[in-house]
Amino acid sequence: MFTLPWQAPYDWAWMMGFLAARTVEGVERFAGQTYIRSFALDGHQGLMRVTPDEASHTLVITLSDGLLPVKEACLQRLEQLFDLRCEPQQVSAALGELAAARPGLRLPGCVDPFEQGVRAILGQLVSVAMAAKLTSRVAKAYGTPLEDDPEFICFPTPQQLALACPLALKALGMPVKRAEALIHLAQAAISGALPLTPPDNIDAAMKVLQTFPGIGRWTANYFALRGWQAKDVFLPDDYLIKQRFPGMTPAQIRRYAERWQPWRSYALLHIWYSDAFKPADQLMAK
């Protein structure tokens, strides 16, 4: 058993709810307050079990024996997924009233940027629930059953997905263009064109992502938000964000959001999950 610390406040109910809504069947599972998922790295595979202990402000983690040789990497990935290094007081001080209602909101990351890229592409123009179903179909079709627990599947590697047939992916319930985008993403991960660690220049890397087939500005930004856990990304073209800023263009919304630098990713989450949000001074954004 391992533990990782986190700073209070932390809204675990929100975080677990966010992940539960996006559960990929076969890869992830919830058992009460415990999050369970398969993971594979460098030829090692197994299950990671995670339970928050709010009394001690620690995340309690159990790794399968198969993952113990890469335990440090597993713990690092879980830190990223749950944003455990966040200093919430610093973020709240920068966001002011925007963060007052939910100071424990954290930025959901991922354990595998390639997996997150697949999720982002499959999440285009469909509901959260449908995106999870599509991702599960891809995982079951191309992933590897976990040796010690065949009820779980290890998410497909770039090498596995790069060999997929676009028409076979289409048969899982996606447009062929989206299938081709997944295959190109896998090829980019193999070649290094898709950074699997946070790049030094997030903005430049997002522009490169937008040259990939099937990846527009929204998807590139969302991938940076979760795949690289970029802290200063905002989505002015997002449908819900545009609803929160009525009468303002994406360019005006982008300028308005500059007040929340360098924590615009957290600002985005607060606005997404606050029905009561209203911009304080629209004229300043014009």
Is there a catalytic annotation at residue 53? no
- Evaluated on CA atoms 247, 251, 257, 259, the torsion sign reads negative
Percent of the chain with pLDDT over 70: 98
Count of domains observed in the chain:
3
Domain range enclosing 53: 2-99
Q: Specify the pTM.
A: 0.94
Which domain CATH number covers 245? 1.10.1670.10
Single out the catalytic residue among 203, 238, 275, 281. 238
Q: Do 220 and 273 lie in a common domain? A: no
Residue range 29-75, pLDDT digits in tens: 999 999 999 999 999 999 999 999 999 999 999 999 999 999 999 99
Q: Do 94 and 124 lie in a common domain? A: no
Whether residue 108 is contained in a domain is answered as no
Could you tell me the two tokens for 224?
A: 């940076």
Whether residue 234 is contained in a domain is answered as no
Which domain CATH number covers 86? 3.30.310.20
Confidence tier at 281 by pLDDT (50, 70, 90): low
Q: Domain ends where: 54, 70, 99?
A: 99
Which domain CATH number covers 129? 1.10.340.30
Q: Do 77 and 172 lie in a common domain? A: no
pLDDT exceeds 80 at position 282: no
Please report the pLDDT score of residue 284 as a whole number: 47
Q: Do 134 and 203 lie in a common domain? A: yes
Could you tell me the two tokens for 142?
A: 């191309």
Q: Do 18 and 70 lie in a common domain? A: yes
Whether residue 181 is contained in a domain is answered as yes
Whether residue 104 is contained in a domain is answered as no
Q: Do 134 and 213 lie in a common domain? A: yes
Q: Do 25 and 91 lie in a common domain? A: yes
Q: Do 117 and 218 lie in a common domain? A: yes
Q: Do 156 and 125 lie in a common domain? A: yes
Q: Do 135 and 55 lie in a common domain? A: no
Whether residue 8 is contained in a domain is answered as yes
Residue range 88-97, pLDDT digits in tens: 999 999 999 9
Q: Do 40 and 123 lie in a common domain? A: no
Whether residue 78 is contained in a domain is answered as yes
Q: Domain ends where: 33, 67, 99?
A: 99
Whether residue 138 is contained in a domain is answered as yes
